[in-house]
Amino acid sequence: MAPHATRPGVRSSASVWFASYGLSLLGKGIASVVLPLLVLDRTGDALAAGVLATVATAASAATGLVSGLLVDRIDRRVVSVVSDLLAAASLVALPVVDALWGLDMAWFLALAVVGAVIRVPGMTAQETLLPVLARLGRTGPGRLDRLIATRETVGNVLLLAGPGLGGLLVGLLGPTPVLMLVTAATSLLAALLTLVLDPRSGRIPRPDTVRGGNAVRRAVSDLLVGWTFLGRNRLVLGATLISSVLVAVLGSLQSTLMPAYFTAEDLPGLTGLTLSAIAAGSIVGSALYAASAGRIRRRTWFVVGMTGTLLGFAAVGSMASPWLVLGGAALVGLTNAPAAAVLGVLTVEATPDAMRGRVLGAQNTVMLAAPAVTSAPLAAVAATAGLPAAGAVIAVLAGVTAIAAVLVPTFRSLDDTPGGPAPDDDRAHGVDRIVQTTLP
C-alpha cells in the first residue's frame, strides 16, 4: 500500500519535471558546442557554422508560429515526449549518415532544420506542464513564483554546464558525430521522465474551441486567438516586449560586440568569462528570488531588477575598461534574473490554460526573431562608428526599456494578480469570439 499511496505525489512532483527540463537543456548545451566544431572540422569553412546557426534559428522561429496550435490541440505531455523521442532520432541520424554517406553541408543543414522543427513544439509543451503541476502539487503562497524562479536557476546553471561538458567531450574525443549520441541520450531520458508525470498535467482544458468551417480556417482562427490575446493583454504584451529587447541586446553582445571588444583589448579570453559572469549572476539572482518568494513583493524585485539592468548595461556599454564591463555583466545577470522570473509568473497567471500553448508559441517566435532584428544594425554601427558607439546604442536600448518598464501603469500593481495559474478560460473564448467575427 505504501508505494501506491506515494505514487500520485511523485507523479505530480515538479522535481520530475525539472529533471526532464534539465536533461533537455543539458543536451542542447552540449550540441551547441559540438555541432559548430563538427561543421568546421568537416567543411573547413568558418562561415558555415554561422550559416547553420542562422538557418536553424529561422526554422525555430517559423515553427514557433504554429507550434502553439499543436500544443493546444494534443495532450501536452504526449507532445513533449514525442518531440524528445524524435529529437533523439534526429541526433542519432548524424553518426549514421556519416558512416553511410559522409556528412557534408547539405546534410548538416537538413538535419539542423529537422531538429529545430521537432524541438520547438516539445519546448512549448514542456513549458505548459509546469503551471499545471503547480496546481496539482502542494499549494502555498509563492509556490508558482518559486517554481518559475527555480526553472530560471536550472536554466542558468545548465547554460554554463552544457557547453562546458560539450567542450570537455570535444577535448577528449575530438569533433566526432558520435558525440551527438550523448545529446540523443539526454533527449531519450527526458522523454522517459516526462512519461512519469501525472497524465492530468498534459490534458487540454477544452478541445478545439472553433466550430464550423474547414480545417485551414479553424487552424488560422486558433492561431489568431493566441496572437490576439498576446496583443490585447497588456501584461503579457509588456512582458514579451521587455524580454525580447533584452534578449536581442544580450544576443548582440554575445555574438558581436564582446568578442570584438576583448580582442581589441588583447584579452580574448575575457569574452567567455563575461558570458559566464552573466550566467553566474543569473543563478544567484534567480535563487534569491526563489528563496524570498511570498516574503518580498514582486514589484520590489521588478524595480530592483530593472534598475540593475539599467546600471549593468550602462557599465557594459561604456566599454570604459575590461573589468568594468565584466562587473556590469555580472550585475545584469544578478538583477535581471528576478525580474525575468516575475515576468514569467505574470505571463502564466494572465494566460488561460486552454490557450497557453499558442501564447507561449507566439512569445517564443517574437523572442527568437528579436536578435535577428538588432544584430545586423548594431554590427553595422560598430563597423562604421566604432565599438563605443555600438555600446552606447545597447546601453540606451536597455536603459529606455528598463525605465519604461518601471514607469508604465501596467507593471505598477504586480502583487494584485491572482496567486496561481489562471484556470478560467472565459477570456480565451472571449478573444476567440472576437477573432471569429473578423474572419471571412
Residue with cell 557599465: 315
Same-domain pairing of 53 and 125: yes
**Per-residue confidence (pLDDT) for residue 184, from 0 to 100:** 95
Same-domain pairing of 27 and 172: yes
**Per-residue confidence (pLDDT) for residue 348, from 0 to 100:** 92
**Per-residue confidence (pLDDT) for residue 11, from 0 to 100:** 59
In a domain, 157, yes or no: yes
Q: How far apart are CA 347 and CA 137, in angstroms?
A: 20
Number of domains in the chain: 2
**Per-residue confidence (pLDDT) for residue 420, from 0 to 100:** 43
In a domain, 65, yes or no: yes
**Per-residue confidence (pLDDT) for residue 42, from 0 to 100:** 87
Same-domain pairing of 113 and 137: yes
Q: Which of 202, 236, 256 is the last residue of a domain?
A: 202
HSE (side-chain half, CA atoms, 13 Å) at 244: 18
What secondary structure, in 3-state letters, does 204-272 show? CCCCCCCCCCCHHHHHHHHHHHHHHHHHHCHHHHHHHHHHHHHHHHHHHHHHHHHHHHHHHCCCCHHHH
Same-domain pairing of 224 and 186: no
In a domain, 3, yes or no: no
In a domain, 239, yes or no: yes
Q: Which residues of the chain have pLDDT under 70?
A: 1-12, 46, 137-141, 206-213, 416-440
**Per-residue confidence (pLDDT) for residue 407, from 0 to 100:** 95
Q: How far apart are CA 105 and CA 92, in angstroms?
A: 17
**Per-residue confidence (pLDDT) for residue 141, from 0 to 100:** 66
In a domain, 67, yes or no: yes
Q: Which of 158, 173, 202 is the last residue of a domain?
A: 202
Q: How far apart are CA 11 and CA 17, in angstroms?
A: 9
Residue with cell 525605465: 403
Same-domain pairing of 328 and 230: yes
What's phi and psi for 413, nearest 5 deg?
-120, 60
CATH number at residue 61: 1.20.1250.20
In a domain, 429, yes or no: no
In a domain, 436, yes or no: no
Same-domain pairing of 292 and 241: yes
Same-domain pairing of 311 and 357: yes
Range of the domain at 39: 10-202
Q: What single-letter DSSP state applies at residue 44?
A: -
Same-domain pairing of 190 and 302: no
> How confident is the model over 154-208, as pLDDT tens digits?
988 888 888 889 888 988 988 899 999 999 999 999 999 999 998 989 998 765 4
Q: How far apart are CA 106 and CA 46, in angstroms?
A: 16
Same-domain pairing of 135 and 271: no
In a domain, 4, yes or no: no
Same-domain pairing of 241 and 189: no
**Per-residue confidence (pLDDT) for residue 433, from 0 to 100:** 41
Same-domain pairing of 191 and 247: no
Residue type, 339: A
Same-domain pairing of 166 and 306: no
Give Cα separations from 19 to 71, 155, 203, 310 (angstroms).
21, 11, 21, 34
